């Protein structure tokens, strides 16, 4: 198998990776041939598109000024003849408009053939002078890189304990696989009809709302369950976290545990947009959706052709113990623990790092202390703040990483 070399290896080809690469080229056009991007799809934004298609999401939650191009107004310019595809408030773009805009960003920066169609299966620090990383690809080839940027998105899907127990049951005692799934596994377009079925959706974030609308559209009755009250918010974190209003105080906080608490409080476990909440309430009034709040599943048993649910009883409503549930979808988000990241075991072994509740304490350039590995997305939350995983978080992360990639004085690789 072949071995090649590159200066900068970017793992992942989603919106944050695209944001980073366009900003590197804006600063140093000569870096075009020094960057290699690795993604199994071989194209930009493929996983992003798949996720939006799987949940039939028709508009973004972020405003039109948040996107992968360095010029904040370029999306609005692109949409000059398509203003009906910018949705109030804050001109949030429709999904199709956003994707077509991103295609033009890729073309304008001449990045069409920049993604190598391979998955990185191993990231290995090579203890030689000069220091390098060895990336092993799904093709069997290897790449030596001087710097690496990990931009692969969220952590592992979170499964509650009761759901883990059901998944572990052997054939015979187990449910059919499609009857219990994490939201990340649900592909709405493949489900032609759910008529006659009742679907239980666990979770209170925006994903739960999209799945509920999609299930009702296919003829299902939907039960939405959350440990707390369903919250309505335009954004998943207050707009003050996009600028100095809140970030100034966040950056001034030296205690990383306190920062983690601020991130947790700001995101507050997920919420629904006003537009989605309006649709859900309308479906509730039509008798197609039932809300169960301050309630959670304690156990689920598969009997013949349906689930029988035991949940924490609450005085404010009847329990759903007597309801036959045909499918359970877990819109329970992801769990972030850097120690379980499939690519980072050898990095952790050679370069131990301070961690706070699973998040790494990176340096101010989002660099792993001791080596030239940079992290984007939710992994950078202790530096970037609560919007680290969002489109604007990609911009904030790039503002920190790009100088370390383009200025020799900020690099400590030999």
How do 355-356 and 86-87 pair as beta strands?
Answer: unpaired
What's the longest Cα–Cα distance across the chain?
68
Output the pLDDT for position 154.
Answer: 78
pTM of the model: 0.96
pLDDT at 313: 64
Residue 71 phi, psi (nearest 5):
-90, 115
61 located within any domain: no
Domain that residue 185 falls in: 157-236+271-333
Per-residue model confidence (pLDDT) at position 129: 79
- 128 in the same domain as 193: no
Same domain, 24 and 121: yes
C-alpha span between 180 and 357 (Å, rounded): 28
Q: How far apart are CA 224 and CA 203, in angstroms?
A: 7
- The answer as to whether 88 is a domain residue is no
What is the rounded (10 degree) CA torsion for 258, 261, 267, 268? -150
Q: For residues 227-251, b (16+ Cβ closer than 10 Å) or e, as one string?
A: eeebeebbbbbbeebbeeebbeebe
Q: Is 161 found in the same domain as 138?
A: no
Indicate whether 278 and 349 sit together in one domain.
no
Q: Note whether 185 and 229 are same-domain residues.
A: yes
How high is the pLDDT of residue 320? 82
Within 83-140, residue ranges assigned H as helices are: 95-108
pLDDT of residue 60: 97
Please report whether residue 264 resides in a domain: no
Distance, C-alpha 73 to centroid of its chain: 24
What is the block-wise mean pLDDT of the chain (414 residues), using blocks of 10 residues?
A: 94 98 97 97 97 98 97 97 95 98 98 97 90 97 97 91 90 85 98 98 98 98 96 94 95 98 93 97 98 92 93 65 92 95 96 97 98 97 97 98 92 54
Among residues 298, 333, 368, the one where a domain terminates is 333
**Per the domain annotation, does 366 fall within a domain?**
yes
Q: What is the DSSP string of 255-315?
A: -HHHHHHHHHHHHTT--B-HHHHHHHHHHHHTTSEEEE-S--EEEEEEETTEEEEEE---T
Residue 378 lies in a domain: yes
Both 180 and 128 in one domain: the answer is: no
> Domain for residue 208, yes or no?
yes
Say yes or no: 227 and 360 in one domain: no
Of the three residues 301, 317, 333, the one that is the final residue of a domain is 333
Same domain for 353 and 293: no
Residue 87, domain member (yes or no): no
Q: Is residue 244 part of a domain?
A: no
Alpha carbon separation from 72 to 44, 76, 237 (Å, rounded): 20, 8, 20
Do residue 136 and residue 165 come from a single domain?
no
Helical H runs in 44-202? 46-54, 74-78, 95-108, 161-168
Total domains, the chain: 2
For residue 318, the model assigns a pLDDT of: 62
Q: What's the DSSP call for residue 232?
A: B
Q: Are residues 277 and 199 in the same domain?
A: yes
- Boundary-marking domain end, from 305, 333, 361: 333
Contact 401, 376 (CB under 8 A): yes
Domain of residue 225, CATH code: 3.50.50.60
Per the CB < 8 A criterion, the answer to whether 174 and 163 are in contact is no
Both tokens assigned to 188: 């709405």
In a shared domain, residues 228 and 170: yes
Is the same domain home to 224 and 131?
no
């Amino acid at each position: 198998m072949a071995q090649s070399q590159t200066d900068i290896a970017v793992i992942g080809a989603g919106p944050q990776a695209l944001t980073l690469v366009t900003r590197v080229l804006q600063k140093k056009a000569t870096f075009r041939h020094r960057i290699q991007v690795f993604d199994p799809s071989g194209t930009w934004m493929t996983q992003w598109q798949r996720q939006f298609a799987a949940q039939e999401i028709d508009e973004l939650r972020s405003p039109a000024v948040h996107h992968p191009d360095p010029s904040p107004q370029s999306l609005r310019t692109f949409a000059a003849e398509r203003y009906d595809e910018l949705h109030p408030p804050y001109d949030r773009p429709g999904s199709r408009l956003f994707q077509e805009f991103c295609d033009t960003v890729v073309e304008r920066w001449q990045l069409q053939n920049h993604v190598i169609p391979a998955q990185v299966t191993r990231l290995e620090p090579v203890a030689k002078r000069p220091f390098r990383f060895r990336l092993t690809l799904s093709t069997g080839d290897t790449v030596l890189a001087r710097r690496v940027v990990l931009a692969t998105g969220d952590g592992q899907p979170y499964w509650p304990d009761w759901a883990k127990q059901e998944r572990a049951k052997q054939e015979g005692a187990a449910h059919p696989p499609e009857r219990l799934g994490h939201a990340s596994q649900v592909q709405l377009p493949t489900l032609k009809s759910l008529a006659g079925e009742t679907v239980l959706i666990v979770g209170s974030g925006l994903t739960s709302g999209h799945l509920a609308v999609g299930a009702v559209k296919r003829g299902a009755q939907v039960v939405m369950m959350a440990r707390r009250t369903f919250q309505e918010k335009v954004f998943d974190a207050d707009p003050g976290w996009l600028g100095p209003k809140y970030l100034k105080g966040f950056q001034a906080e030296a205690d990383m545990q306190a920062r983690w608490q601020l991130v947790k409080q700001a995101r507050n476990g997920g919420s629904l947009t006003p537009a989605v909440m309006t649709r859900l309430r309308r479906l509730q009034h039509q008798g197609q959706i039932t809300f169960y709040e301050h309630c959670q599943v304690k156990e689920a048993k598969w009997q013949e052709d349906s689930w029988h649910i035991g949940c924490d009883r609450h005085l404010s409503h009847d329990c759903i113990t007597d309801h036959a549930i045909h499918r359970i979808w877990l819109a329970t988000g992801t769990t972030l623990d850097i120690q379980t990241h499939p690519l980072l075991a050898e990095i952790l072994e050679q370069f131990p790092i301070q961690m706070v509740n699973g998040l790494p304490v990176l340096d101010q350039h989002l660099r792993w202390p001791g080596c030239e590995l940079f992290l984007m997305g939710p992994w950078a939350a202790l530096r970037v703040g609560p919007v680290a995983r969002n489109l604007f978080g990609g911009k904030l992360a790039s503002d920190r990483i790009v100088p370390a990639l383009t200025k020799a004085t900020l690099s400590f690789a030999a």
